[in-house]
Amino acid sequence: MPASPIRKLVPYAEAAKKRGIKVYHLNIGQPDIETPEACLNAVRHSDFKVLEYSHSAGNESYRKKLTEYYSKNNIHVNADQIIITTGGSEAILFGFMACLDPGDEVIIPQPFYANYNGFATAAGVSVKPISSSIETGFALPPIKDFELAISEKTKAIVICNPNNPTGYLYSAEEMQVLKQLILKHDLFLFADEAYREFCYDGEFTSAMHLEGVEDHVVLMDTISKRYSACGGRIGAFVTKNKDLLDAAMKFAQARLSPPSFAQILGEAAVDLPDDYFNKTKAQYRERRDLIVSRLNAMPGVFCPNPGGAFYAMAKLPIDDSDKFCQWLLESFSYKGQTVMLAPATGFYSTVGLGKNEVRLAYVINTDAINAAMDCLEKALEEYPGKIIT
């Protein structure tokens, strides 16, 4: 199993804190926005005598409630087309295990969410990466790159929209390109849509909006980022493909059931006011604009403007992002503070890529972002491995 680029530096951060250094965490997508009180109260005031298993597909009441949420997003499914999972992570793993055999291949534009590598390893599946570029803002690679990567072993394409780690928002036109690819080659399209609420520039197009590919599309979803409920570990595996649902249910039954309390929380979340996301989205937009402007004002730094999610990828004038991110925690501080970043190498499947890139999660408030950027700017002046351009 590959190490998580998001978490592998945690011991160095813990050691820095023990030395009295304040660490600004831009390494992980853990929002500081409070979980909605109505959702927490639903859990606090739940009344039952036995904390029993739910149905392996999740509570029927929650699945029915989720269809209301999806309908508001122009995604029309019924409760029997949803399997509640232990986080979005389990939905991804169910997809890999149910759709691909050991030795099969899945194509993913890189950089991509690092844990796809881990899930592929667990399923015995090979990841075939095709590269997007920071110079184009990580737009969908050309269709010829997909065609070159597709072989007789290829069974699926994975897309994360809006994207983690790049924040790129795939357009309706790009989603149509993917539709033609999966039809031509009879592939599954795994759509990780954990950040659909957070789109800042342009309209969101779900894979479930594509017509004529219902048996090919698998939606992998989660409440973690949407409602700032990462610890709840509740996601969803959604598809209109009946045979695939039957296969995925075998894996769902094998792990018995998803978490009970968080299903109660998720069910309550569907009843939040329709304008609930307006304030949250506005906060993330403000944070995005601040962090991108601060980064691009630093000598030798380039950061494209992300269209969604709450991540930014930046190219830094450094020799090695892994060394730099560790150095920030081990050897650097500014006014008793430092910043924790995620080295981009872990978001690429191709060895050698991402050596001068980092991912930043703008999940802390603007004052903290400014302080973190002050640290980063000072660090780039002092770093021994700085590249002079």
| Whether residues 86 and 108 fall in one domain | yes
At residue 5, does pLDDT exceed 80?
no
| Whether residues 57 and 89 fall in one domain | yes
Is the residue at 1 inside a domain? no
- Model confidence pLDDT, tens digit, residues 351-366: 999 999 999 999 999 9
Stretch 23-33: mean pLDDT, rounded?
95
Residue 3 has what pLDDT?
Answer: 75
Q: What gap in Å lies between CA 179 and CA 310, rounded to an integer?
A: 26
User: For the chain, what is the mean pLDDT?
Assistant: 96
- Which of 248, 269, 290 corresponds to the end of one domain? 269
| Whether residues 222 and 239 fall in one domain | yes
pTM: 0.95
At residue 7, does pLDDT exceed 90?
no
- Which of 222, 241, 269 corresponds to the end of one domain? 269
Is the residue at 46 inside a domain? yes
Percent of the chain residues topping a pLDDT of 90: 97
| Whether residues 289 and 362 fall in one domain | yes
Is the residue at 334 inside a domain? yes
Is the residue at 350 inside a domain? yes
| Whether residues 20 and 116 fall in one domain | no
Name the packing angle between helices 115-123 and 87-99 (round to 10°): 40
CATH number of 66's domain: 3.40.640.10
Task: State the DSSP code for 142.
Answer: P
Query: Which amino acid makes up residue 96?
Result: F
Asked whether the beta carbons of 127 and 116 are under 8 A apart, the reply is yes
Is the residue at 2 inside a domain? no
| Whether residues 49 and 140 fall in one domain | yes
Q: Domain residues for 372?
A: 10-34+276-382
Collapse the DSSP code of 274 into the 3-class scheme (helix H, G, I; strand E, B; otherwise coil) and give the result: coil
| Whether residues 22 and 115 fall in one domain | no
Residue 245 has what pLDDT?
Answer: 98
pLDDT confidence bin for 367, thresholds 50/70/90: very high
According to DSSP, the residues that pair with 128 across neighbouring strands are 107
Residue 59 has what pLDDT?
Answer: 98
Nearest Cα neighbor of 72 from 270, 284, 219 is 270
Rounded to 5 degrees, what are φ and ψ at 386? -65, 140
Residue 4 has what pLDDT?
Answer: 79
Is the residue at 389 inside a domain? no
- Model confidence pLDDT, tens digit, residues 288-331: 999 999 999 999 999 999 999 999 999 999 999 999 999 999 99
| Whether residues 216 and 289 fall in one domain | no
- Which of 227, 244, 269 corresponds to the end of one domain? 269
Residue 270 has what pLDDT?
Answer: 98
* Domain count within the chain: 2
CATH number of 295's domain: 3.90.1150.10
- Model confidence pLDDT, tens digit, residues 249-283: 999 999 999 999 999 999 999 999 999 999 999 99
Dihedral angle sign, alpha carbons of residues 122, 128, 130, 131: positive
Is the residue at 5 inside a domain? no
| Whether residues 320 and 235 fall in one domain | no
Is the residue at 155 inside a domain? yes
At residue 388, does pLDDT exceed 90?
no
Rounded to 5 degrees, what are φ and ψ at 200? -110, -35
| Whether residues 93 and 228 fall in one domain | yes
Q: What gap in Å lies between CA 97 and CA 188, rounded to an integer?
A: 13
| Whether residues 247 and 315 fall in one domain | no
| Whether residues 264 and 286 fall in one domain | no
- Model confidence pLDDT, tens digit, residues 234-249: 999 999 999 999 999 9
Residue 66 has what pLDDT?
Answer: 98
